[in-house]
């Protein structure tokens, strides 16, 4: 049994298009195959910057609301956002359940290891991986942090020098687009798969707040994801459609990736 958890949060992004993440989350939630859909009643207004984080108060409250929604779900959860910070509560729950056996496969054009000190905008979606490792402000960091050995970053091609320095110091495994498939070398379950849609090639899928050239084609990404064994949870994030009508090409891509995450696409 699979439940889609729709978290239409946008405040973790600093993009002018960030509010479109709300529509993207709700739209994508209906495209991922599942037995049920649960929508978190997130705060939709902006918030105040504190602790170096934009809309800190709203993000902390949305984390509480997401944890509350998760507590009522016994199925495998596919979280649909919204910005990348929607992953915090689901990954925290997976960490509690699976302990140090859990691996997080973070598929993203960006490594998301900024800190409030190194990211002037305070956009928390650029700090999420660091928060998963326990390095984040109160309310936005895991109480039972992951270790660097539990995280693999794949598809990254746009990290800042300060982020690459952090990756080198912590020893986080990092793979780009050319060697994407190497991210699966030796990978064993249980695995949580985070999928930021900006990992995709913009010529094939451009409906994100921060598209980056030189990305992965949707079919290749679906093939990769379908090879991951023992997926205990996953997320699709950062869908920011430009229009009010569903774009058929965007819908086809999200359906393909959702099917791969739920084991309905095989190579």
Query: 132-182 pLDDT, tens per residue?
Result: 999 999 999 999 999 999 999 999 999 899 999 999 999 999 999 999 999
Residues 6+ positions from 227 with CB-CB distance below 8 Å = 184, 267
Q: How many helices (H) and strands (E) does the chain have?
A: 7, 8
Residue 106, SS3? Answer: strand
Q: Work out the pLDDT band at 26, boundaries 50, 70, 90.
A: very high
222-234 per-position pLDDT tens digit: 999 999 999 999 9
Does residue 105 surpass a pLDDT of 80? yes
- More confident position, 244 or 51: 51
What's the CA gap between 260 and 267, in Å, rounded?
10
What's the CA gap between 156 and 192, in Å, rounded?
17
Is 6:22 a contact under the CB 8 Å cutoff? Answer: no
| pTM (two decimals) | 0.96
Phi/psi of residue 153, nearest 5 degrees = -100, 130
pLDDT at 68: 97
Is 15:210 a contact under the CB 8 Å cutoff? Answer: yes
Percentage of the chain lying above the pLDDT 70 cut: 99
Mean pLDDT confidence for 57-73: 97
């Amino acid at each position: 049994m699979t439940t889609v958890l729709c978290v239409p949060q946008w405040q973790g992004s600093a993009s002018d298009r960030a509010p479109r993440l709300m529509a993207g989350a709700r739209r994508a939630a209906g495209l991922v195959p599942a037995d049920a859909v649960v929508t978190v009643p997130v705060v939709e207004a902006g918030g105040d910057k504190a602790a170096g984080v934009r809309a800190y108060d709203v993000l902390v409250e949305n984390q509480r609301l997401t944890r509350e929604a998760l507590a009522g779900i016994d199925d495998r959860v596919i979280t649909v956002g919204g910005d990348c910070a929607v992953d915090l509560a689901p990954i925290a729950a997976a960490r509690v359940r699976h302990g140090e056996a859990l691996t997080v496969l973070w598929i993203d054009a960006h490594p998301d290891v900024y800190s409030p000190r190194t990211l002037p905008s305070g956009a928390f979606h650029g700090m999420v991986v660091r928060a998963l490792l326990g390095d984040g402000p109160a309310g936005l960091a895991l109480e039972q942090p992951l270790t660097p050995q539990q995280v693999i970053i794949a598809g990254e091609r746009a990290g800042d020098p300060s982020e690459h320095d952090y990756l080198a110091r912590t020893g986080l495994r990092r793979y780009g687009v050319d060697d994407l498939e190497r991210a699966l070398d030796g990978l064993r379950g249980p695995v949580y798969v985070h999928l930021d849609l900006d990992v995709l090639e913009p010529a094939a899928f451009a409906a994100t707040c921060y598209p980056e050239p030189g990305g992965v084609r949707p079919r290749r990404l679906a093939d990769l994801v379908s090879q991951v064994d023992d997926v205990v949870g996953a997320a699709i994030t950062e869908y920011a459609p430009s229009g009010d009508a569903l774009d058929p090409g965007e819908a086809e891509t999200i359906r393909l990736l959702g099917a791969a995450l739920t084991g309905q696409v095989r190579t």
